[in-house]
A = this chain, B = another copy of it.
Amino acid sequence: SVNPDLASERRTASFGVEKLTALLDGGAEQTQIRRAVVEAIESDPVFSRENQYFQTQNERYEAAVKKAVHLQKKMHEMEWTENGPEFKYIYRALSGDVAFLLHRVFMRSISVLGSDKQIAKWIPLATQHKLIGSYAQTELGHGTYLQGLETTAVFDTATQEFILNTPKISAMKWWPGDMGRSATHTVVFAQLYVHGKCYGIHPFIVQIRSLQDHSLCPGITAGDIGPKMNFEHVDNGYLLLKNVRIPRENMLSKFCEVRPDGTYVRQGSQKINYFTMTTVRISLISDEVLTPLMKACTIAIRYSVVRRQSKLKAGEQEAKILDYQTQQEKLLPQLAAAYAFHFINNYLQELFNRGYREIQRKNFDMLPELHALSSGFKAVITQHCTQGVEICLRACGGHGYSLLSGLPSLYTKILASCIYEGENTILLLQTARFLIKCFMAVSAGQPVPPSVTYLAAVKHGRCPAKNKLDFLSPDIYTEAYQHVAVRLTGSTAAKLQDLIQSGVKKHDAWSQCTVQLVQAAKAHCHYIAVKNFAETVEKLETKAGIQKIMKHLCDLFALHGIFSNSGAFLHDGYTSAAQMDMVTASYLDLLAVIRKDAVPLVDAFDFTDKSLNSALGSYDGQVYQRLYEWAQRSPTNQMSPAYERYLKPLLHNTLSKL
């Protein structure tokens, strides 16, 4: 039975929930396929996550390995293939709680970086699980800056082998997933040396564990790096190499090869490879970043209509906490952001598909723009969504702090996305470098890629809004965002030039502007996200109330951004104080409007109770029963030796003293 406080929220939905779900999925057929996968996975007890919050790191790892092995069987049984329409839903249905994800990265790196011969040898072995692969790039002392890696691979002409070493403790490989306990092979990135000359970083296939008994190979020291904030199911590992010899054929050699005599040969264009690295940043957004935020919104919003606290009016029943403006202000902007980023993700996916087709035709023109967009949006979306999940957690008060709410694990997991696949600050500076370059080009009348042509549109006008309703016009707010992005890029470019003209060296000038460069990159992405949301809304079908509610969310996303960063909009007077007060008024009005549809808007995400794995967020809203039932099963309610060992003697001691 559904909690009546939750049921009443659903009766008044202003739009068709099933229609919106189909829109999010990209069509009703996709919804059907997704639900079939979810049903198959969730009905299989091996994939259950119901004890997850009670398990130790070792138990989580073992369960993940078990699931990975079982998944092979399941896929065969269900006739799912890696190229089939179901595949993309499997990982999501498992909530990523499965081992051997790096095995896929191992395979991809061989496919992309290996010669045809290497692909022919290794891919079938990997596909058939005759080995378990990993990917060893990051070192204890080296992350983002790849040129700084210290692991060495020295070519020995005599034996036609590479000799691999991690010469210092800071050179130890550190973090690679699946490597701590599972992997038999890994791709090691190392500085290549031939005849004493260093040729930079190259990838090498290295066997680290015996295929017979899983013992470590000679010269290998490897293990697990220990407890982390999340990812307990992954055996992130360390790896020391001491004079480990591998055959010449194990250097992945699509782009570079060492001939038997030690001649180093570079061949082909690596650009497609850079493109692949760039796409990884986009591909993680959906499953690793948007899904957690959508889940957090679902949990926090459902809980906020079930939880009642204090009275808005004397004599009345206690109010649903979602009826408080302050609670709406916490949660509804996160909901709007989830939709905004869903649509920008669609936009980026399409752009990258187009880019891929161009690149296959040897047209690399789009690469700089794609790199700038993927870097900037990876940083902005992971940062925004991480903060959003944290807000959802805090908004649930004490119950949000219980692992049983599901929110802590969503938070601790999404937090990692700000760090992996490029640390966010470094990525934003990549985007900023592109922006500054384009700004200079535009100023010199040169052509620039489509996403930055707006930099030429330096209008020194003022925002034309006359009342608060004007701020519900996408033209008005999109233009305001554009203005801020242009201003921040332009003023930072000017500061850079001033410094250089005053004699500061170029790299020093850059260093002195990084805080402002980061601001400019964020403003650029924020502008594109708002513009894309507005354009998406315009194209939506008007029936079933979908367009109307999406328009409200788009407005909220835009106005919340202005309200929260008002200084950027007020700075040069583009927006006046009176207009900022209109923004605030419209923003607060919107909260009350969207609050009415808040539950249907999270229902449309279509998460099952099992996928939420939350005592607060279930579809039926029976929060208190679930918390109580679940807590009773906690291992902390088993017998503890603490009484016999400590409490009894304590109580007894003092008794005997009297």
Contact = CB atoms under 8 A, between A and B. Distances in A.
Interface of A: 53-54, 56-58, 61-62, 65-66, 68-69, 72, 128-132, 138, 140-145, 148, 169-170, 172, 174-175, 180-182, 184, 211, 214, 223-229, 235, 238, 307-314, 318, 324-327, 329, 390, 394, 397-398, 400-404, 408, 412, 415-416, 418-420, 423, 425, 429, 505, 507-508, 511-512, 514-516, 518, 565-573, 577, 580, 584, 588, 624-625, 627-628, 630-638, 640-643, 645-651, 653-655, 657-658
A143 B226 contact: no
B634 A226 contact: yes
A150 to B, nearest CB: 11
Contacts of A324: 511, 514
A236 to B, nearest CB: 9
Contacts of A58: 635-636, 638, 640
B229 A403 contact: yes
B394 A418 contact: yes
A143 B643 CA distance: 30
A408 to B, nearest CB: 4
B580 A402 contact: no
B229 A641 contact: no
Contacts of A402: 225-229
A654 B130 contact: yes
B175 A404 contact: no
B228 A57 contact: no
The complex is assembled from copies of this chain, and their number is 2
Contacts of A423: 397
Contacts of A429: 326
Nearest to A425: B326
Contact of A227 (B403, B643, B655, B657): B403
B227 A640 contact: no
Given A143-B397, A172-B624, 18 more contacts: A56-B635, A62-B641, A66-B645, A68-B646, A128-B657, A130-B655, A130-B658, A131-B651, A145-B311, A181-B642, A214-B647, A223-B637, A227-B402, A228-B401, A238-B628, A313-B507, A408-B412, A566-B566
B631 A148 contact: no
Contact of A226 (B138, B310, B403): B403
3 nearest A-B residue pairs (beta carbon): A566-B567, A226-B634, A567-B567
Contacts of A141: 307-308, 624
